[in-house]
Amino acid sequence: MGDPSVVCTQLGGTAGQNGSCVLSPPDETPDLQDWKYVLNFRPLAVKDGIKQRFSPNVKEPYYHPIEDGYGALNLDFYAVQIVDLPSVAGTKHTAESMLNAVRRTFNNFLDQSISPFEAYDLSGVDAATWDSATPVGAVMHFLVKTPGTVKDDKASVVAAEYAPDHWIFSTLPTPNDDAHPVSGNRQFGVAILRAGDALPDVYQKAGVTIDNTKGDALYFYTRGADRCTSAVDHFASVMGNVVFTGGHACWLALQQKLTAWIIQGGGQAVVAGNVSERWDWNIIKGRRGGTLWTGPSQ
């Protein structure tokens, strides 16, 4: 028999005092596979551009690696089922054109009292790139409104990947905004739950419902994987749950505003629910060999 703490670690658990061992749920790894891509994503396609633009004020690796963060891993998911796509000027959107319309007018889908959204360079390269058909490389920021304060904090992200069915924001430090409060990535996209397929348990336990009983179900989603960037952010999160509750409120508002916009455009949509959970980073990171965290190169 090996040392109990070593055996515990090998099994993906967390060793405690007096030989205690806390194991993650047995279905944790397969149940969370939908987050694998966004968790392990790196903004390598835009790294050189960020370096050229912001160096030496921003240091390597020019973005916030999730493994350099503090505390628990946040994995979340917010969905809106699209029963019927909206129209613009009498022409019905496709899923791709709807997603592009949402992207280009993204600030319209956010609660302005929580976190407005704008280009880092309002009159220059970022605004133009974000509004184009190829938004990769655009640096944007969220204006994070904190109750009781006059000045808004600013949290920068870069559009690090774009495809017809999704885009990804990666958090990064910038000279004007300093560090983002979380380290990681967030994906926005459209997807289909095929007729007869069931959502993994992690969605069902959180009350997410996408009705595919009558056929394939189209839905819009945002999915995030991140951790607090600094010890100060982590302390604020632990003491007041400030960091992740702020994001949660932002994405709940996005669900409501997107649903209303689709209905206003003659379509049909319904908020499908959300997942917002914190996971033990040490357990997630410790599960190697085809598991959730693969530790990509920088």
Q: How far is CA 142 from the centre of its chain?
A: 13
The size of the chain, in residues, is: 298
Query: Is the pLDDT assigned to residue 54 strictly greater than 60?
Result: yes
**How confident is the model at residue 64, as a pLDDT?**
97
Q: What confidence tier does 11 reach under pLDDT thresholds 50, 70, 90? A: very low
Task: Please give the residue that has the higher pLDDT: either 79 or 7.
Answer: 79
Query: Is the pLDDT assigned to residue 1 strictly greater than 80?
Result: no
Which of 100-114, 127-141, 150-164 comes out lowest in average pLDDT? Answer: 150-164
**What does the pLDDT average to over 87-109?**
97
- Summarised one tens digit per residue, pLDDT across range 32-43 is 999 999 999 999
Query: Is the pLDDT assigned to residue 16 strictly greater than 60?
Result: no
Q: Judging by beta carbons within 10 Å of its beta carbon (0-12, 13-18, 19+), is residue 74 exposed, middle or buried?
A: buried
What domains does the chain contain, in order, with CATH numbers?
A: 33-280 (3.30.530.20)
| pLDDT > 70 in the chain, percent | 82
**What does the pLDDT average to over 255-267?**
98
**What does the pLDDT average to over 23-51?**
82
pTM, rounded to two decimals: 0.87
Largest Cα–Cα separation, the chain:
71
Q: What confidence tier does 230 reach under pLDDT thresholds 50, 70, 90? A: confident
Query: Is the pLDDT assigned to residue 297 strictly greater than 90?
Result: no
Query: Is the pLDDT assigned to residue 24 strictly greater than 80?
Result: no
List C-alpha distances in Å: 75 to 9, 95, 192, 208, 262.
22, 25, 20, 14, 26
Q: What confidence tier does 182 reach under pLDDT thresholds 50, 70, 90? A: very high
Spatial CA neighbour of 162 closest among 182, 187, 191, 141:
187
Q: What confidence tier does 238 reach under pLDDT thresholds 50, 70, 90? A: low
